[in-house]
Structure 1
Amino acid sequence: MSEAPAAPRPVSAEPVRPADLDLLVTPPRARTGWRVLPARVAAMCAVELQKLRHDRTELYTRAIQPALWLLIFGETFTRIRAIPTGGIPYIDYLAPGIIAQSAMFIAIFYGIQIIWERDAGILTKLLVTPTPRAALITGKAFAAGVKALIQAIVVVVIAALLGVALTWNPLRLLGVAAAVVLGSAFFSCLSMTIAGIVLTRDRLMGIGQAITMPLFFGSNALYPVAVMPGWLQAVSTVNPLSYQVDALRGLLLGTPSHVLLDFGVLAVAAALGIISASSLLGRLAR
């Protein structure tokens, strides 16, 4: 005797709501208003940082130079005691300057990458998207800041191993991170601005090499402003690297500094850099 067929499962009597059908045929509304720019900036920054997952060699190789500055230059001049540093060991005085220097060296050649993207056709594709040009530049600038922050962590670890008396206050370390990111954002925008003017990698590399050392030696990274000649003190006054070093030194070592002024100058410099680089982005893509 055959078994009786199983009773069919009851079908839900709940009707499909029109709103459910709308989600199937209509895409969700795009972000509008004030939410557009932060979302695009975050997306561009994430795209830039994805490159680190595929090749971390840059982070390792760039750690060599700051290590040599601290190990050789810092240790030697600590023994000589030729530079007045306000009663702190010279290697302690030097460490914030090397953090700023290594961050600047990462950011100052960022324009080479955007020229490469232009040559590869990537930049043209980005410019035809609805993403504002300011968002493209800001995303790249803050990606450079995050890369520089990773480099700064390496320098801090090396300095701590050498016995530098750094602070470990979380709020001060957050301030250090903000100073590194803002300074790197400015220098990367400076590089992209120069890229929009010279248009070629060879010219940009030559100009980048020509300005990095004057920016470094024309700041308070290696020695106090008081020991500089008058003309170099004037250069240091308009050099954003000096304000970044001053903020880092005050936050990490607790030395007298003008932290509010330093952050104000860095924020204004980064904003002006973004505006300048954004205005020249179209010329670079032509």
Structure 2
Amino acid sequence: MSAVPAAPQAASAEPPAHRPAAGPDLSLLLVPPRARTGWRLVPARIGAMCAVELQKLRHDRTELYTRAVQPALWLLIFGETFTRLKAIPTGGIPYLDYLAPGIIAQSAMFIAIFYGIMIIWERDSGVLTKLLVTPTPRAALVTGKAFAAGVKALLQAVVVVLIAAALGVAMTWNPLRLLGVVAVVLLGSAFFSCLSMAIAGIVLTRDRLMGIGQAITMPLFFGSNALYPVDLMPGWLQAVSKANPLSYQVDALRGLLIGTPSHLPLDFAVLALATVAGIAAASALLRRLAR
């Protein structure tokens, strides 16, 4: 009898439903991500330092509320009173409208000008020394802190704009112009915060910095065009106003928000150059602060 060929055996593999699921690739946890190099390093460090600074504001928002009181008083009392007096010629613009951009610049400057106190506190607590031994360039460290101050000032500017709008100030809501306002506030605040950090690198103590900050804020404010036109100033004060970065910030804000004649290219150029010079000066003095 001929042998009957054996039937082929079924495959012994388990059906797909019973196969063990593939586990997560744990090797990704053991391999560090590729480090940023070249031109990508500085923006990444700046973003990281800015995020660290803003985390502090997230945990304590009291500063935003308390700092909103002073600009509200300027608009409600000073602005409303001088609007009725008509004592300051503003070219047919209600004085409250003329004043609002100046108060935005003032509130932003008051936030930034004392920013050096924070970096002295970081020096005293040992945080600054740890930051300086990291691969983060000093310029990136200063720039991150400067633009974090700018974001804080921008939040303050939003409060002032809302108060001014509630008082009937005729401001533009053009998105492109509002983006310009954001850029102006960021640049101006970055410069004044770098000025504060540079002063901190010279005086080295919080008490001295507080005294110098209080001594220069009001001359910077009254020596600008925030409260009155430059044409009303005596000759020597007009020269001071032309050298004052706050005047260019106010001029840009006034032109963007209420449409008065301004010199936007010059304003942006001065603010950008002042910010770059401030970052360079604060970066050079940062090592001295950490000694």
- TM-score, normalised via structure 1 length: 0.93
1:245 — aligned with what? 250
- Could you tell me which amino acid in structure 2 is paired with residue 66 of structure 1? P
Secondary structure at the counterpart of residue 203 of structure 1: helix
* Separation of aligned partners in 2, 1:106 and 1:149: 10
* Separation of aligned partners in 2, 1:236 and 1:223: 11
Secondary structure at the counterpart of residue 63 of structure 2: helix
- Could you tell me which amino acid in structure 1 is paired with residue 57 of structure 2? L
Task: Report % sequence identity.
Answer: 83
Larger Rg: 2
- How far apart are 1:253 and its partner, in Å? 0.4
- Summarize the alignment of residues 84-163 of structure 1 with structure 2, pairs less than 5 Å apart: 84-163=89-168
CA RMSD of aligned residues (A): 1.7
1:17 — aligned with what? none
* Separation of aligned partners in 2, 1:283 and 1:25: 39
Stretches of 4+ moved more than 3 A in 1?
6-12, 20-26
2:52 — aligned with what? 47
Gaps of at least 5 residues in structure 2 are: 1-12
- How far apart are 1:21 and its partner, in Å? 8.6
1:210 — aligned with what? 215
1:175 — aligned with what? 180
* Separation of aligned partners in 2, 1:253 and 1:166: 5
- How far apart are 1:174 and its partner, in Å? 0.5
The superposition leaves residues 163-205 of structure 1 with CA deviations (integer Å, 9 ceiling, x where unpaired) of 0000000100000010000000000000000000000000000
2:225 — aligned with what? 220
- How far apart are 1:27 and its partner, in Å? 1.8
1:36 — aligned with what? 41
2:10 — aligned with what? none
* Separation of aligned partners in 2, 1:93 and 1:187: 23
Change (3 A) 1:24 1:176: closer
Secondary structure at the counterpart of residue 29 of structure 1: coil
- Could you tell me which amino acid in structure 2 is paired with residue 229 of structure 1? P
* Separation of aligned partners in 1, 2:77 and 2:26: 69
1:232 — aligned with what? 237
1:3 — aligned with what? none
- Summarize the alignment of residues 66-81 of structure 1 with structure 2, pairs less than 5 Å apart: 66-81=71-86
Equivalenced residues, count? 275
- TM-score, normalised via structure 2 length: 0.92
- How far apart are 1:118 and its partner, in Å? 0.2
* Separation of aligned partners in 2, 1:99 and 1:259: 17
